Structure 1
Amino acid sequence: MVEAASVKDSEVTLGSQNCEDCTPVIFILGFLNSQPSHYASLQNYYGQYTKDIITYVPKMYDQHFWPSGDNGHEFIDQVYLPKVNEKPNAPVIIHIFSQNGGLQFYYLWDALNDKQKKQVKGFAIDGAPGLFSAHPRYYMNQRFYMWPRNEKTDIKFWLKCVPQHIPRSLLYTPLILLGFFDQYSKRMEKFDLPQNQLYLCSKDDKLVAFKYIREFVLSQVDSGKSVVLKAWEDGVHCAHFKTHQGEYFKLCGEFVKRSLADNLYDCHLKAKL
């Protein structure tokens, strides 16, 4: 009973703790072609838990949405490891967006040793992971979604996106079906991933089909992980932290507290009891 009350107190006062070594480090892995400033509101929200928030946008896919061949080591070697080496006792949380962030996380988890993995207390993932659909409609939506906002019009979709990308989508369909497209999520299902997991997505996502995300989530439930899935009925891919901000941030806050509870108790309160 004392422990439960103490953990609750630590959740309230987390932002005021002054422990340089063990306050959490939060990494945000952005979706393809976004800018770090795109996640400013999410960074501000996480700021109540820590000052150590690093936003990084990898480039795991090329301009045609084919895997770029990047194995993620720029982030791992130049961003992630230097930061966690500064705070070896700090819990790490990773917030991932789309397949771009998901593939980067796959390479990160594959590269970490067992001790480094234990430092990661949880991950939240938005709009992933899942299999890319072989349906041409999904590919054209992916291409149109990645265009600069000032060029994104219905006229350009029908006069530019559709004529240019129908042939490419027809090429991608057999390549995906034959396994030439890197579907990392099936391999990631076999990993022993962090215990605390939060999945955020839309049931009518036009880029990654919800059924594939759900399949991945169920595989983690079967593995005994602590999993929360929030699937909105509709919404634009990876835009829920703007369109459903209140609910989105509440879920993220609950996830952070769930991920850090044991760590906070051990660090800040155990010596006082």
Structure 2
Amino acid sequence: MSMAGVSNSQMSLSATLKRAGLAPIGKGIYLSNRTREASGSSSAASNPSKTPNIILVFGWMGANLPHIFKYTKVYQEMYPDATQIIVQSRPQFFWSSNRTRMNNLVPVAEVLEAHGCSGTKLEVAPASESDPPRILVHSFSNGGGIQMYTLGKLLRARSKSSSDFCGHKPRMSAMIIDSCPANATLRGALRAFTASLPKNSPLRIPLIIFIILIYSFNSFKHRIFGVQPIFERLKRGLLRQGPEGGILPWMTEKTPRMYVCSKQDELVPFEEIEEHVKEAKARGLNASIEIYDDTPHVAHARRYPERYWGAVKDLWAAAVQS
């Protein structure tokens, strides 16, 4: 791409971010801090102490900002007083080192800490005593799920204390896991990484070879050194329980979570998500599942917006009551 092309692309991105009220705070990480412009703009905003004031959105692998904006725009209408943190997921994230993954998410951790989320306890910082953290997390596909899992590891690593958060009154929190998790299979990896490429793309064959090499290397590490594939670590993280919280440190067994999947998803078989949800419930986690009959991967809200966003509102209502 020429210098002029790069400049035009950057200008276009800047204009897009400005229209969306977003500021870049890291590589593929954006912060929105919009406030309600008119009273009554959202029925949910009539009682702001019962609505989320932080919304974490983890996009699916390769999702461009305009795709993610279709979700964040709805959140701006539903919860106009909430700060939104948007995290993109790029393919190279999957074969980066754990340290690189965690370093990339430091800006997210810093924003959360500034809002009162500190270490393994969801503490109330002096500046946020009147507005304690109420966090809604929305993760898409394995790409978003792995970003979420990595953020949990980062927050624990930055913790100054390993004290038991469950001994304190939990803040409101809920989690949506859309089109995730999937089993760690070569076939699934190939589908995920090549889904956005045309079948006649010259990049398709080199990418397939590269994915096979990476998958083989990870399988070797698992057999020889016991290192679990990242997708398996994500599944284990989603089932995490104990004194240091769930996949994110402030989450407990009572935190409402909703899995969303489809019988027509060609990337993540809904049976794998169903099986995971059964295990989550068996472990005592507050899990529910929404199964669609005919929607493609991460496209449930686009085809059935009323059902999808109605379920999100119901999930948050459960968080308020829990």
TM-score in terms of structure 1 length: 0.72
2:287 and 2:218 map into 1 onto residues whose CA distance is 29
Pairing of 1:226-237 with structure 2 (within 5 A): 226-237=286-297
Q: Percent identity?
A: 19
Which consecutive residues of structure 2, in runs of 5 or more, have no partner in the other structure? Answer: 1-41, 117-124, 157-161
- SS of 2:61's equivalent? coil
Instruction: Select which of 186, 190, 198 maps to 1:153.
Output: 198
Normalized per residue, which structure has more helix? Answer: 1
After superposition, give the CA deviation of every residue in 1:223-260 in whole Å (9 maximum; x if it has no partner): 22222111223432212221222211111111111112
SS in 2 for 1:90: coil
Which residue, 160, 163, 187 being the options, matches 2:236? 187
AA at the equivalent of 1:221: K
The 1:261/1:44 distance shift into structure 2, 3 A limit, reads farther
Alignment match, 1:54: 84
Q: How big is the alpha-carbon RMSD for the aligned residues of Structure 1 and Structure 2? A: 3.2
Give the Cα–Cα distance (whole angstroms) in 2 for the partners of residues 132 and 75 of structure 1: 29
Counterparts of 1:168 and 1:117, CA distance in 2 = 48
Which of 95, 98, 111 does residue 141 from structure 2 map onto?
98
Structure 1's unaligned 5+ residue stretches are 1-11, 263-273
The yes-or-no answer on 1:81 pairing with 2:92 is: no
SS for the counterpart of 2:113 is: helix
Note the C-alpha offset of 1:222. 1.2
Structure 2 residue 192 is matched with structure 1 residue 142: yes
Moved more, 250-259 or 80-89: 80-89
Q: Distance in 1 between matches of 2:173 and 2:282?
A: 19
Report if the CA contact (8 A) 1:23-1:50 is conserved.
no
The TM-score with structure 2 as length reference comes to 0.63
Distance 1:165 1:44 in 2: 33
Q: Secondary structure at the match of 1:257?
A: helix
Please give the secondary structure, in 2, of the residue aligned with 1:128.
coil
Structure 2 letter corresponding to 1:185: L
The superposition leaves residues 29-54 of structure 1 with CA deviations (integer Å, 9 ceiling, x where unpaired) of 11223244423332233332342141
Task: Give the aligned length.
Answer: 239
Give the direction of change, closer, same or farther, for the CA distance of 1:120–1:184 in structure 2 (3 Å limit).
farther
Task: After superposition, give the CA deviation of every residue in 1:193-240 in whole Å (9 maximum; x if it has no partner).
Answer: 332000012234333333332232122201222221112234322122
Within 5 Å, give how 1:240-255 maps onto structure 2.
Answer: 240-255=300-315
1:125 counterpart residue number:
177
Q: Is the 8 A contact 1:123 1:197 kept in 2?
A: yes
Q: Deviations over 1:132-152 (max 9, x none)?
A: 3222xx33322223x4xxxx5
Moved more, 177-186 or 92-101: 177-186
